[in-house]
Amino acid sequence: MKKLISFLASISVMATPSLVLACGGTSETEDKNKDKIDLSKIENKDLGNLNGDDKLPSLSLVIKELNKINKNLNLTENDVQFDGTQTTTSAKLKALETSTSFIGEVTLSYNYQKNLFDLSTLKNKDLGTIKGNGNLPTIKEIITSINKVNENLNLKENDVQFDGTQTTTSAKLKALETSTSFKGEVNVTYKFEKSSNKDLSTLKGDLEKLYGKDSKPTDEEIINKFILVNKEENIKSSDIKLKQNSLNEELTKATIEAAENSESFFGLIDVTFEYNKATEVDLKLVDDLIKGEGDYASFSPAVFKKGVTASSEEITSKEKMFNNVKTFTERLLKLASILGIKITFDQLKEMVDINYYSDENGTTLQNNNEKIKLIRITVKKGWEMNIEGYYVTGVINAKIYEKVDITKVVTETDLGTLKVTSTSLPLYALRAVNEYLTTKYKDYMDANNITSDCWETINNKSFKYDDNSKTSATVTLPKEDTFNNIFYNNVTLKFKIEKK
C-alpha cells in the first residue's frame, strides 16, 4: 500500500511542470503574430507630396511611398487594405488577416495632387471643320471638336480659356490655374464655317400637357412633344436630345439640347409640362369591329361583318376607297366613344400610314387599275402619342369585298307561301323571309362569306301587307339606309302568309 501511494505521488510531481507550462505559455494566435510588424509602430507616417493620375491616391501609390521612407518595410498590396475611403490628405491602412508579415492599422498623412495633363502634348491638334452660328468659333465649339478627335480627354470649359483671339483657322488655348486636370497651352487648327442653325432657346418651351405610357416620361416622349409643339420648325428627332439627368423629380421640367451633329439647330432650351399617363388605345379594336370579331363585334353598325364593301368603281380607286374606309372608321369611332375613347378620324389620319394592296395578305402594293383587296393602316413610328391623352398602337388590316348585285342572286321574286306563327305581326313574316332566303342560297352565301344579316329583313320598313286580310305581303331588300352591305341594287319580294 505504501509503495502505491509513493508511486502516485511521484507521478503528480512529474506532471506539475507540464501543467504550469500549459497555463502560463502563449496562445496559438500570439505565437503566429509575435514575429509580425505592428503597423501602428511604423516610424515614418508622413508621406509628403504625392502625385497620381486619379482623383485620389491608389493603394499601390501609398504603399510605394510608405516603403520609400521606411527602410526594409517591404509592405505589399497582399498585406493591407484601405480602412474607409482615402482623401487627398490622409488614409488609414489596415492589415489583412491573411498577411504573414503585418498586423494592426496605421493612419498616414500626405499632400496628394492629381497629375495635370500638359495641353502641349495633345496628340490631335487639327480639328477639321467646325460649324458655328457666330463669325468665329466659341470656346465650347472648339472644346467639343478637341474632345471628338482626342478620345477620353474630357476637356471642359472650366479647364481652359482663349490665349489671345481665335480666328477662323486657329486658336490658342491656355489651361486655367483653377483646372484640376490640365496645365500648359496648345495651338489648334481648324476650318470654321458659319452656319445658319437656329437657336433652340428661341423656340416654344411650354409643352402644356404631356402624356406618356409609363409612370414617368421617356426622353423620346418629351422630344416628340417638343417637335409637335414646334412643328413649323421642321425639327428632326436626330437634331435634338434630352440633356442627361435634366428631368426633375416632380416630372414638370427638362432640358433639350441640340445634337452635336445637327445641321439645323444649336444651343438648348428648358421645357415645362404637366405629365400624365396616357390611355392606351390598340387599333386592333377597330380591326376587330371591321372583321366582326372580338368582345364588341355585336355592336358593329356594319351589315356585312367581314370587311369593307365597295362597288366595282370604288374598288380600283385609292381615293374612293379612302373615303369608304373613312366613313366606316368614323362610324366605328363613334362606337368607341361610348367606351370612353374619344378620337376622330382626322386625328387618326395624321399619325398613320395608309397602304393599298392588290392581294388579301398585304404583300403586293396596288397599282394601275388593279382591284384593292386590303387596306393597311399603321401608326407611324414616333407618332404614338400624337393625340393628346392617348397612346395609340396597332394595325388595321381591312379586307375589301366587292359588292354584289342582289338582283343577280335573288332571281325568283315570288317566294310562294311562308308558314308563320302569327299573321298579325310583320316580325314573324320577316323572319320567315330570312329563313327562306338563307336556306335557298346557303351555298352561295358560304362561298362568299355572306351572313343572313345581309338580307336585312328584320325591322325592314318596306314590308307591306297587300290588304287587311294579312295573308300576303311584299318587302324590298336590302334596306334603303343600309351600311356596309355586300349587296347593292334592290329586289322586291312577294309572298303569301299562312299560319302554322
Q: Would you list the DSSP string of 19-65? A: HHHHHHS--HHHHHHTTSEEGGG-S--EEEEEEESSSS--HHHHHHH
Helix (H, G, I), strand (E, B) or coil at 159: coil
Coil, strand or helix at 488? strand
Distance in angstroms (rounded) separating the CA atoms of residues 473 and 30 = 119
End-of-domain residue from the set 386, 402, 418: 402
The reported pLDDT for the residue numbered 402 is: 95
Q: Are residues 230 and 189 in the same domain?
A: no
Q: Per residue in 67-88, pLDDT tens?
A: 999 999 999 999 999 999 999 9
Asked whether residue 152 falls in the same domain as residue 238, the answer is no
The DSSP annotation for 119-130 comes to: GGG-S--EEEEE
Q: Please tell me whether the overall predicted TM-score, pTM, comes out greater than 0.85 for this model.
A: no
**What would the mean pLDDT of 307-314 be, rounded to a whole number?**
94
Q: Rounded distance, CA 259 to CA 200, Å?
A: 11
- Going by pLDDT thresholds of 50, 70 and 90, the confidence category of residue 2 is very low
| pLDDT score recorded for residue 31 | 61
Same domain, 372 and 285: yes
Please tell me whether residues 175 and 128 are part of one structural domain: yes
Nearest one of 263, 217, 216, 214 to 240, comparing CA atoms: 263
Q: What is the structure's pLDDT at 22?
A: 41
C-alpha closest to that of 107 among 40, 55, 50, 38: 40
Q: How far is CA 61 from the centre of its chain?
A: 45
Task: Determine the average pLDDT of the residues in 170-191.
Answer: 95
Q: What is the pLDDT of residue 3?
A: 42
**Pair (127, 180) in one structural domain:** yes
Of 203, 206, 223, the C-alpha closest to 265 is: 203
Same domain, 368 and 307: yes
Which residue, 66, 97, 113, sits at the end of a domain? 113
pLDDT at 7: 40
Give how many domains the chain has, as a whole number.
6
Q: Find where cell 489583412 sits.
A: 96
| pLDDT at residue 76, as a whole number | 95
Q: Which of 174, 196, 218 is the last residue of a domain?
A: 196
Q: What is the mean pLDDT of residues 250-274?
A: 93
Q: Are residues 296 and 395 in the same domain?
A: yes
Preceding omega of 57 cis (within 30 degrees of 0): no
Whether 381 and 286 map to the same domain: the answer is: yes
Q: What confidence score (pLDDT) does residue 29 get?
A: 56
Q: What is the DSSP string of 163-202?
A: SS---SSEEEEEE-TT-SSEESEEEEEEEEEE--PEEGGG
Task: Judge residue 382's burial from the number of C-beta atoms within 10 Å of its C-beta, 0-12 exposed, 13-18 middle, 19 or more buried.
Answer: middle
- Residue 369: domain span: 281-402
When mean pLDDT is compared across 73-77, 135-139, 328-332, 352-356, the lowest value belongs to 328-332
Q: What pLDDT shows up at residue 23?
A: 42
- Cell numbers that stand for 373 in this block: 383587296
Per-residue confidence at 132, pLDDT binned at 50, 70, 90?
Answer: confident
Q: How confident is the model at residue 92 (pLDDT cuts 50, 70, 90)?
A: very high
Based on the fold, state whether residues 436 and 330 are members of the same structural domain: no
pLDDT confidence of 103, banded at 50, 70, 90?
very high
Stretch 281-304: mean pLDDT, rounded? 88
Please, which pLDDT band fits residue 32 given cuts at 50, 70 and 90? low
Band of residue 28 on the pLDDT scale cut at 50, 70, 90: low
Mean pLDDT of the chain: 89
Asked if residue 114 has pLDDT above 70, the reply is yes
Looking at mean pLDDT, say which of 130-139, 427-436, 475-484 comes out highest.
427-436
Cα dist. 37→71, 73, 99 in Å? 13, 9, 10
| pLDDT at 6 exceeding the cut of 50 | no
For residues 25 and 102, state if they share a domain: no
Residue-wise pLDDT for 192-240, tens only, equals 988 788 889 889 999 999 998 899 999 999 998 999 899 999 999 999 9
Report the candidate in 377, 371, 444 with the shortest Cα–Cα distance to residue 402: 371
SS3 275: strand
pLDDT at position 336: 84
Task: Give the three cell numbers for residue 13.
Answer: 510531481
On whether both 250 and 361 belong to a single domain, the answer is no
Mean pLDDT calculated for residue range 5-33: 46
Alpha-carbon distance of 51 to 112, in angstroms, equals: 6
Whether 415 and 484 map to the same domain: the answer is: yes
Q: In the structure, what pLDDT confidence band is assigned to residue 133 with cuts at 50, 70 and 90?
A: confident
